[in-house]
Structure formats: C-alpha cells, structure tokens
Amino acid sequence: MLRCVCAVVVAAGMAASPAAADRQRTASVRSAAGRAAAVTDCGDELEARAVSWKPAIRKGVVFAVEIQGPLGGVTWDSVAGKALVIDCSLAVSLADAGRYLADLGVERVRFSSAYDVRNVRGTDRRSKHSFGLAIDVHGFEGAEIGAVRVDHDYEQGLGDAVDCIGQPLTRGGAVLKVLQCQLVRSGLFRLVLSPDFDDAHHDHFHLEARPWSERAEVRSQVPAIY
C-alpha cells in the first residue's frame, strides 16, 4: 500500500512538472516583454525630445545609448574625449535637465566618468556608473558665465531645508548652488551629490538616475538625495 501511495505522489509530481515549467516560461516571456516595452518607451521619450542617439551595447546596461548631439540644448563633452554612452533613463533625465542649465547660461558641460564598471569606493558594491545610470560633472561653460568649475567655484555649506541656495559669495558659486537645488528638486534624479556630500565628490557633481523600469513617471515627486 505504501509503495502504491508513493507511486501516486510521484506520478502527480511528474504530471505537475510540465505545468510548472509552462508557468515559468510564461512568466519569463512576460518579464522579457515588459523589459522590451520599457526599452521602447524610453527610446520614444528620447525621440520626443529630439535627442540624436544610436543604440549601443555595454555590459550591465539595460538600454545603452550613444548620444550624438546636445541634450536639452546643451552639449556634453568628455574630458577624455570619449563618446557619451549611458543608459537611456539617464539620457532622458539629462535632456529634461537641459532647461535648467540653459536658463543659467550653460551651453556646454564637461564630464569625466559616465559608463564605467567599478565599485563604490571602499565597498564591494557596484557603482551605478557600472550600469550607465550615473555621470560625474566637473564644469559648465557658456558665453554669459564663462567657465565654472566645481572644484574651484563650489561654495560648501550653503543652504538648508528652508532656503536651499543660501547666500553664495561669487557668481560661479551662485550658478552651481542654484543648479544643484534645481536638479535635486526636479524629480529627474535619484542622487545629486556635491562636495558637501563627502570628500570623494570634492571636484564634481554626481548625477544618478533611477532605472527606467522603476520610473512610474519621468519626474518623481520625491527630491533627490544630496
């Protein structure tokens, strides 16, 4: 009798296996379809913003794009002369942030690290640069403002929860502080880190976007961590 019961249980388990496998395959197909839809949606957002781009392939990046023109009317230049390759989600955020830059007289942005496979300093955790979701910005240039550098012009310790900007003493300091506050409150970024955050950011702004799959809307109602 025991052998009979065991045989029935085993048979039932074997019969259930194909059904379980079908469910797993269906879930995988739906997940892949969801990712594909998200990628298509992000690409459509770039097109709607008249961004010139082409698809790229980078390990770890969900939807890598190579930017081939201005983002929101602002040119992004690598200090190393490299092409700007980032995740589409970050590209959309930078394109929408262009109006804040342009309003301050910024025509050109100088950046160093964008896609770069590495760990967060002092940890074994991958930096968001590894996924194309972060970029390090060192300077801003324009006919009206000249050249403004984070390492030279940023004035630390300004602002508070009520008055984000505070009272900068220089024009360059004012440009950087106003821009930082606008980016923090824009809802376009998860992180906007500056020299105020820690010594590792003494010479740049670290801008980091959420993955596209985590963005219910392009602009979050939650301000960035800074």
The domain locations on the chain are 41-214
Which tops the pLDDT comparison, 9 or 148?
Answer: 148
Listed in sequence order, the residues at least 6 apart from 62 whose beta carbon sits closer than 8 Å to its beta carbon are 35, 39, 87, 88, 89, 131, 211, 212, 213
Q: What is the pLDDT of residues 153-162, one digit of tens each?
A: 999 999 998 8
Tell me the mean pLDDT in the region 134-150: 98
* Length of the chain measured in residues: 226
| Residue 82 per-residue DSSP state | -
Beta strand pairing call for 53-55 and 146-149: unpaired
Handedness of CA 218, 219, 221, 222 (dihedral sign): positive
- At 90, is the pLDDT very low, low, confident or very high (cuts 50, 70, 90)? very high
Mean predicted lDDT score pLDDT of the chain? 86
DSSP reduced 3-state for 78: strand
Enumerate the β-bridge partners of residue 205.
137
**Does the pLDDT at position 45 exceed 50?**
yes
For domain 41-214, the CATH architecture is 2-Layer Sandwich (3.30)
